[in-house]
Chains A and B, each alone.
Chain A
Amino acid sequence: MIELALILLVVAAAVYLVTAPLRTDGRAEDEQLEAELAELEAAKEAKYREIRDAELDFKTGKLSDHDWRTLDRTLRGEAVDLLKRLDAVEERVEPLP
């Protein structure tokens, strides 16, 4: 008897859990824009890490002053491009109610 009750409980809990999102109104959002934003955010994070690592490489002697400044400028330029693209996408994303 206890075994049967446990089985019913497991089945009921699974059905309740799985169908919960279907019982609420779905909110339409622009997935493509969100994905694009997430992509650019990831690229920006990676670029910042690259800038930071280049700085540490310079401080630990792996890059000369001239090389580091050149690389740093290039990386920051790339970061600026990413920020511009991020701003552009953010403008296209409609604010959620």
Chain B
Amino acid sequence: MLLAGQACLIVAFCCALYGIAASLYGAKAHRREFVASGRRAMYALAGATTIAFVTLELAFVRSDFDFATVASHSSTTTPLFYRLTAMWSSQEGSLLLWLFLLGGWSTLILYLTRHRLRVLAPYAQAVLLGFGAFFSGLLVFAETPFAKSPMPVAEGAGLNPLLRDPGMMIHPPMLYSGYTLFAIPFAFAVAALITRRLDAEWIRSTRPFTLAAWCALGFGIVLGARWSYHELDWGGYWMWDPVENASLMPWLTATAFLHSVMIQERRGMLRIWNVSLVLATGVLAILGTFLVRSGVLNSIHAFGASTLGVPFLLLIAAMIGGSIALVASRADSLRSENRIDSLLSREAIFLLNNLLLVALCFVVFWGTFFPLIAEAVTGVQRNIGPPVYEQFVVPLALLLVLATGIGPVIAWRRATASNLKRNLTKPALAGLAVCAVLIALGVTQSFTALLMFTLAAFVVAGVVQELFRGVRARRATSRESAPVALVSLVRRNRRRYGGYIVHVGIVTLFVGVAASSSFKHVQDVALRPGQSAKVGDYTFTYVKPTAQLHPAANGRLERIAFGAQLRVERNGKKTLLNTSKDYFPSQDGSLGPVSRFFDGETTTEVALKASLHNDVWAAVAPDIVKLRDRIEEGDKLFDKAADDLTPEQSEEFLALALRGLTGRYAENPPPARFRLEVNPMVTWIWLGGLIVLIGGIIAGWPSRRGATRTVKARYAARVGTEVRERVPV
């Protein structure tokens, strides 16, 4: 099925090229049938890509090593779930996933708007098809996932063990869904600029997609952080790694856009700003893919060697150049209809929030690209570590939380001193009360953490006050019970209250970050069985070593695990935890049959006991140096007996040899090195992420048509009354 898969990609590429031409011709010549044909070219692209995607998936499931991609990224010992998701661990598979998602989302928006946005749609679909042509072109000409293995392969190289984590397998599709969904507002913004239709309609039509992109990308970022915390042995969740930063940047600009766009919808203001934010988000989404896929992160010089570096750079240059030219040439149409009435208004707070988010994005951008620029200029790689980021990010984040607290309780257009007092007093008092309690409890080691907790309480109290008043107002007219009134209130004002829930999620997440980074306890120690180490209030005791062989579903050996059982004690309460280092066999044929199990990839299975209060976290680094002589001895014995053993006997003896090694380690363990951590409130970060996702879904959930009609009818009637009142008698 290699040929069929490749043919589908060629069909997708041809459809994209035809669709661009048909859409643009249809728009220019006012031939709607060509516009419709161009739209259908996107449907065809999506269909052909789906068949290619399924073909490759089936090859992974069947472990068909005729597919070079399958041979290099999967194996018969890889569990089925990871075989299903191994596709996007490869360069070509991840590009196919990009195209598959782009085709799906673009088809959905073009189908939903087929009877609307008729002036914009041809240009928007041409832009989306342009992205389709770019990615299908890469897959056809540069990185095909349907290449044949150069020689027959009996066993594949297997999936990178670090990626064998359920979160990591969902994380890439989430990030890519975010990136591809951001292509939609980008495409419609370009179309709005080309046609000079810069009103709120394109924003309204693409808003659900922008929000879905924001939710997917945000969820993907949190999943990535969780994977890092659970799967890597350094004990953190965010490293300011360029790959992490690449996904954070478009999320920050999209967050700014989701706020400032409300000002455009209401007041016709900030048009240049909004369109620039959408265009920047689209460029940053492609930049994120470029950073991860071009090899530029390893070295500025590596991207030239990559087949993807130059094409991506050209695409980004075209996107930036085109965006600037469009915005500059449409400056007259982008003029604001109104001005901000007062600095004491929600518009002004949203503007502040936007400036803070863009400043954050700039810090992350500079931190990501400075090492690359420095390397290009000086030839020496320089890295910017977390302390440099935190120096700028922490004050900006604190100000952002303050703006998050003020925004929901301040009025649009103009707030007066009296209503500001009425709306801010209680949240401010709640923040101060939390601050006083924390100081009384002795939480004074970190001023920034204390300030963050205070501001978080201010934000949450503001949201609670809003909900309380909303429920009270609703009950005054509907006589519903409080819980019913709360549900009705949120259901009828999803956008507003969904947004408030997002705010609660964000501050929950920030509280987790502040607590875990300010009050964590870490120790790196070497322990023998029976020895203990004290970390914070906890005592860790190395109880005994563990050593196990793990067979795969097909009976073949998948990995060897050397680890430790730990007893964790606090205030007389004891818990047993297990941590291990897993050794996966290398596929390097030059290594001996025994040593290849110790010279391949390794992963760490972290010991973790999580709670809302504290996470107890431990990772072991076993010392296997003393096993080296036995390993080499085993290799030599196998070398000598290689000609006399059948493959079955060879497997049996190998299993015996490895069992001997694990037994020896368990009976006579050398001291093992441990990283032991007590991390406060990390669970709040994951909970915060979940709350943000729920809030985002509520805010983006489409309104029922009937309800909209009722509201429209009610207002239309009232507006009609005003019309009659204004008619001069």
Contacts and interface: CB of A to CB of B under 8 A. Distances in A.
Whether both chains belong to one complex is answered with yes
Contacts of B410: 62
Contacts of A18: 15, 18-19, 22, 37, 40-41, 44
B33 A52 contact: no
B32 A76 contact: no
B595 to A, nearest CB: 42
A37 to B, nearest CB: 10
A83 B303 CA distance: 56
Given A17-B44, A59-B469, A83 B719 contact: yes
Nearest to A63: B411
B3 A7 contact: yes
B473 A54 contact: no
Interface centre among B15, B34, B119, B719, by most A CB within 10 Å? B719
B623 interface: no
A3 B59 CA distance: 14
A22 to B, nearest CB: 5
Contacts of B14: 14
A42 interface: yes
A48 B726 contact: no
Interface centre among A6, A60, A79, by most B CB within 10 Å? A60
Nearest to A41: B201
Contact of B36 (A21, A57, A79): A21
B3 A26 contact: no
A38 B121 CA distance: 13
A61 B469 contact: yes
Interface string B90-119: 000000000000000000000000001111
Contacts of A7: 3-4, 7-8
A48 B707 CA distance: 13
Contacts of B116: 38
Contacts of B18: 18
Contact of A48 (B36, B195, B715): B715
Contact of B266 (A13, A22, A24, A46): A46
B347 to A, nearest CB: 12
A20 interface: yes
Interface in B699-729: 711-712, 715-716, 718-719, 722-723, 726
A86 to B, nearest CB: 11
Contacts of B409: 62
Interface residues of A, number: 52
Interface centre among B22, B40, B47, B470, by most A CB within 10 Å? B40
B30 interface: yes
Contacts of A62: 409-411, 415, 419, 423
A75 B466 CA distance: 23
Nearest to B120: A35
Contact of A56 (B3, B118, B418, B496): B496
Contacts of A21: 33-34, 36-37, 40
Contact of B34 (A20, A22, A77): A22
Contact of B470 (A17, A20, A46, A60): A60
A88 interface: no
A80 B722 contact: yes
Given A14-B47, A80-B719, A60 B711 contact: no
Interface in B470-497: 470, 473, 493, 496
Given A3-B4, A18-B44, A31-B30, A43 B466 contact: no
A8 B593 CA distance: 47
A90 interface: no
A51 B119 contact: no
Contact of A26 (B22, B33, B723): B33
A48 B204 CA distance: 14
Contacts of A3: 1, 3-4
A14 B41 CA distance: 8
Interface in A51-90: 51-54, 56-57, 59-64, 67, 71, 73, 76-77, 79-80, 83
Interface string B178-211: 0000000000000000010101110010000000
B173 to A, nearest CB: 24
A26 B7 CA distance: 32
B31 interface: yes
Given A19-B37, A29-B32, A35-B119, A71 B413 contact: yes
B204 A46 contact: yes
B528 interface: no
30 contacts: A7-B3, A7-B7, A7-B8, A14-B47, A17-B40, A18-B44, A21-B34, A21-B40, A24-B33, A28-B30, A28-B32, A31-B119, A39-B197, A42-B201, A45-B204, A50-B412, A54-B412, A56-B473, A56-B496, A61-B419, A61-B422, A61-B423, A62-B409, A62-B415, A62-B419, A64-B416, A67-B414, A73-B722, A76-B722, A83-B716
The 5 closest A-B pairs by CB, nearest first: A42-B201, A59-B473, A21-B36, A60-B469, A26-B33
Given A35-B120, A60-B470, 5 more contacts: A3-B4, A7-B3, A27-B32, A62-B419, A63-B411
Interface of B: 1, 3-4, 7-8, 11, 14-15, 18-19, 22, 30-34, 36-37, 40-41, 43-44, 47-48, 51, 116-120, 195, 197, 199-201, 204, 265-266, 409-416, 418-419, 422-423, 466, 469-470, 473, 493, 496, 711-712, 715-716, 718-719, 722-723, 726
